[in-house]
Amino acid sequence: MIYMTRLRLLALLLLCLLSSAASAQVTIPDEPSDDPAVEERLARLSHELRCLQCKNQTLADSPSSIAADLRREIRTQIKAGKSDEEIIAFLRQRYGDFILFRPRVRPTTYLLWFGPFVLLAGGLFVLFRYVRQRRDAIAEQPLTAEERRRAEEMLRS
């Protein structure tokens, strides 16, 4: 019990430290645009993009400061009339392919895209071969006359 409370205290302390550290950071609040079309495009784009800090979150979901900065930048670029491709090119140039949640199909990602299908094909091949081998192994062997006689005897009794 004592151990538990200590752990909780530590967690609380850490939380305080982290939040105080974060509060000192310059964060510019999100200012949604009045134009719903801009916000709609921002939402669509930012669901496709990875937050560099938290990695498993999209730019849309992440509360981190860098995600807010990138959302702001994307909004600015949408307002400036940039196309989705131009905005994604801008981000890829700075942060690389890592920022895309859907990796591009290119030689370095072939394994990622096609690997599962190769594994599936390999699995099916092994399965078929195994089944065929077993079928051969347990091929029906006709009874000899003596065996048939004994079987009939047993059935009769």
Partner 1 sequence: MRYLIPLVLFLVLVVFLAIGLTRNPDELPSALLDKPAPTFRLPQLKDPAKTFSADDMRGKVWVMNVWASWCVACRDEHQYLGGYAKSGAVPIYGLNYKDTSENALAWLDELGDPYVLSAVDSDGRVGMDYGVYGAPETYLIDKSGTIRLKHVGPITPDVWNKEFLPLVQQLNRQ
Interacting residue ranges for partner 1, rule: CB under 8 A: 21-22, 24-28, 52-53, 55, 65-66, 69-70, 73, 92-98
Shortest separation between residue 139's beta carbon and partner 1, angstroms: 22
Shortest separation between residue 69's beta carbon and partner 1, angstroms: 5
Nearer to partner 1, 55 or 156 (CB): 55
Shortest separation between residue 12's beta carbon and partner 1, angstroms: 17
Which string of DSSP letters, residue by residue, matches 12-62?
Answer: HHHHHHHHHHHHTS--PPP---S-HHHHHHHHHHHTSBB-TTTSSSBTTT-
Nearer to partner 1, 28 or 137 (CB): 28
φ, ψ dihedrals at 58, nearest 5°: -80, 165
Shortest separation between residue 51's beta carbon and partner 1, angstroms: 9
CA atoms of 77 and 12, how far apart (whole Å): 40
Tracing tokens 């702001």 back to the chain, one arrives at 72
Nearer to partner 1, 125 or 143 (CB): 125
Nearer to partner 1, 27 or 83 (CB): 27
Q: DSSP label at 109?
A: G
Tell me if residue 144 falls in helix, strand or coil. Answer: coil
Q: Is 41 left (phi over 0), alpha (psi -120 to 50) or beta?
A: alpha
Shortest separation between residue 36's beta carbon and partner 1, angstroms: 26
Nearer to partner 1, 5 or 19 (CB): 19
